[in-house]
A and B are shown apart, each in its own frame.
Chain A
Amino acid sequence: MISQALAVAKKDILIEYRAKVALNQVIPFALAVLLLFGFALDTQAKVLVEVAPGIFWVVVLFSSLYLISRSMRLERDNGAIDGLALLGIDPLAIFFGKLLALFVAMSLLEIAVAVGILVLFSANLGSLALLAVSAVVATLGICSVGLVYGALASGERVGESLLPLLVLPLLAPVLIAATKCWSDASASHGGIYDPWLKLVVLFSVVFLVVGAVSFGAALED
C-alpha cells in the first residue's frame, strides 16, 4: 500500500511539475487577492497587521480550491480513475498518495502567501514553532476534506462550482482555529500547547480519518 501511495504521489507531483499550474496560476492568483485585500483595507498599517493571520488563511483556503479541484480532475480526464481502479490499486493508497502531492503543492502556496503577507502587511510571525505546527496540521485537514469532496464533486457536471459549497463550511473551524494560532503566536503568548492548536489538531485528525475511510466510496460515486 505504501509503495502504491508513493507511486501516486510521485505521479501527481510530476504532472504538477510539468503543468506548473500552482506556480503559474494559483500562486499569482493568491498574491493578487492578497494585494486586493491590501488595497481594500489600506487604512492604517496597524489594521493590516491585525487582520494578516485571517487574510492568510482565507487566501490560502480559496486558492487551495483550485489545487484540490485540479488534483481530482487529473483522474477524471481520459477516464484515468477507471484506469487506477483496474490496476487494482487500494483506494487508501490513492487517498494518501494524492494527499501527499496536494500537501506539497499547498505548502508551496502557503510559503508564497506568507512571504506576501510579511512584505505587504508587515505581519508579525512571533512563535515560529506554533505557526509551523498549526500550518502543517491545518493543511492536512484542508487536503483531507478537499480530496473527499473533490472526488464527489469531480463526478458531477457542475463539480467546479459545487466544491466550494461543500468544502468551505466544513473547513470554517480549521480556518478560525488556525487564524487564532497565528494571532497567539504573533502575540508571543502561545506555544505548541496553545488551546487553538489543539482544536486544529482535533479537526484535522477527524478529517484525515473520515477522509481516509470515505474516499473509496466517494470515488465509486
Chain B
Amino acid sequence: MDLGGESDAIRFESVSVLLGGFPALLNASLRVSHGELIYLRGPNGAGKTTLLRTLAGLTKVSRGHAWVSGLALPGAERALRDVVGLVGSKSHLYEDLTVHENLEFVRSILGLSHDRTAASQEVFGLAGRLQRQRVSSLSAGQKKRVALCALLMKNPRIWLLDEPHSSLDQQGRRLLDDILVQATSRGAVAVVASHESHMAGDVGARVLELVAGKVVDAERRPYLPPFNTASATESPGGAVS
C-alpha cells in the first residue's frame, strides 16, 4: 500500500485533470506540509479553481497520484469531503432560506451543538437581526460571511478558499486572515486562491503560482513580459494602426 501522502498534508505527483477533454491541470506537482498557509495565484483560466475542487474531492484526478490528508486520489473523494471545507465562487446557500435556517441546516447535518453555531455567527457578525433575513436579500459581502461562517462551523482540516477576500470589507478581510492564521497554527492547512497575493506576506503564507495548469513556486517563476498592447493592434503588414 502506498502511503506516500502520510507525511505531507497535500501531495500531488504529476496530476492532470481533464475537464471535457481540456487539461485544466497538467502534470501538476505540489507538496504542502501540515500547518501551512498557501496563497495560490495565477491568471484567469490557469486552473486555480480546478485545483481547489480537486483538493475538495469534487473534481476527479484524471492522471497521476494525489494524497490529501492521507487519502489517496483518485478513489477517496467521498471520504475526503469529510475533512475539507470549501468556499468558492458559489455560496452553497439556499436563497429562499434565512441566514439562521441555512446555518441551522449545516448544524443539523454536521451534528454540532447550538453553542458552536452561535459562537461562529458571533465571529462573523451574523447574530441579531441579520439572522432572520433571507439569503436572497443579502449583499454579496454578507453572503460571503454566511458561507465563511458555515466553513468555520465545520472547522475542517483542509481549508480551501477561492477568492475569499472579494466583496468583503476591510474588517471582514482582517477577520478572515486572523481565522486562517489561527487554524493553520493548530495544524490545519489553508489553500487560498487569490489575486491579492500581495497580502500573503502579512499572514506568513507561501505563494504558489499556477501557470497553464502547472504549479510553479512563485519565487522561481519565469519572467513573463507584460502584455504588449501595441502588438495586438498591429496590422498584418506590420504598421501600427
The smallest C-beta distance from B49 to any residue of chain A, in angstroms, reads 11
Return the contact of B84 from the options A74, A80, A86 (Cβ within 8 A): A86
Residues of A within 8 A of B92 (CB): 78-80, 82-83, 86
Majority secondary structure of chain A interface residues (helix, strand, loop or mixed): helix
B130 at interface by CB-CB < 8 Å: no
B109 touches A89 (CB 8 A): yes
Number of A-B contacts (CB under 8 A): 68
A78 touches B97 (CB 8 A): no
Residues of A within 8 A of B91 (CB): 78-79
A80 touches B93 (CB 8 A): yes
Residue ID in chain A nearest B151 by CB atoms: A86
Q: Given A3-B108, A7-B105, A82-B58, verify A87-B154 contact (CB < 8 Å).
A: yes
Return the contact of A85 from the options B81, B93, B110 (Cβ within 8 A): B81
Return the contact of A15 from the options B57, B96, B111, B150 (Cβ within 8 A): B96
Near B by CB (< 8 A), chain A positions 1-36 give 3-4, 7, 11, 14-15, 18-19
B85 at interface by CB-CB < 8 Å: yes
A11 touches B97 (CB 8 A): yes
Inter-chain pairs besides A3-B108, A79-B88, A88-B81, 8 sampled, C-beta below 8 Å: A11-B105, A18-B97, A18-B134, A79-B91, A79-B92, A82-B88, A86-B92, A87-B81
Chain B residues in contact with chain A, CB under 8 A? 56-58, 81-82, 84-86, 88, 90-97, 101, 105-106, 108-111, 134, 150, 154
Chain A residues in contact with chain B, CB under 8 A? 3-4, 7, 11, 14-15, 18-19, 74, 77-80, 82-89
